[in-house]
A and B are shown apart, each in its own frame.
Chain A
């Protein structure tokens, strides 16, 4: 029972702060802070869904690293207040909102009667021990390829952020 209360509380928090991020037209720093609240609320929901390791990684990587990176760039660029004049293409904006609403309704409409009940999970499900065992046995190749991706991203961002290529 209390699990459901926690879920709906954090679900409401996640949706409210996500809306706050998208609808905040003035302050990019405040939008980034709303994103942190969404990430932390989703981390709490991951704990309720017995994904403990994922919850910790979610908080560390998203709230701790990715949003900090966003904030660094926002402060580095130091945008003027009038950087974003009022929109010219209201029709295109309306179409964007309509399309997004259609995606949302299509997902929600596909839901009823197709989903299984919750399985009985073994002891330690979602902990570092079980996830690590699966990660380093069944998924060891994707795990190793991930290192290549990170290397490529590292080289790419250094090249992009360099002042000039001479």
Chain B
């Protein structure tokens, strides 16, 4: 059995990489992919804790997160297509009307 610390550490590293992608990239599709990566990091933490406590509740949570991720990608990519149709661009710097 791998120590739980290392599983959660891997989860934190993947979450950090996903955060960097979501904050610094300007391609909307890559930003969505980075958010998927962050959700996956959280799933890994859930599975690790589920194994450590010998309880299946964490794995049920992972199922729910996967469902939400699939729904989010479907709607998010629908928005990307609608945006591209209107602006001919998926660069987030071209969609800054609501930015302060």
B and A form one assembly: yes
Which A residues contact B (CB, under 8 angstroms)?
Answer: 3-4, 7, 11, 14-15, 18-19, 21-22, 28, 31-32, 35, 38-39, 42, 45-46, 48-51, 53-54, 57-58, 61-62, 65-66, 69-70, 73-74, 76-77, 79, 83-84, 87-88, 93, 96-97, 99-101, 103-104, 107-108, 111-112, 115-122, 125-126, 130-131, 134-135, 138-139, 142, 146, 149-150, 152-154, 156-161, 163
Partner of A101, one of B16, B29, B37, B64: B16
Set of chain A residues within 8 Å of B75, measured between Cβ atoms:
153, 156-157, 160
Set of chain A residues within 8 Å of B9, measured between Cβ atoms:
108, 111
Q: Check A126–B56 contact: CB distance below 8 A.
A: yes
Could you tell me the dominant secondary structure of chain A's interface residues? helix
Partner of A22, one of B2, B10, B34, B44: B34
Q: Check A7–B2 contact: CB distance below 8 A.
A: yes
Measured CB to CB, the closest approach of chain A to B22, in angstroms, equals 8
Q: Check A35–B59 contact: CB distance below 8 A.
A: no
Q: Check A70–B59 contact: CB distance below 8 A.
A: no
Chain B, range 18-45, C-beta contacts under 8 Å to A: 18-21, 23-27, 29-30, 32-34, 36-37, 40, 43-44
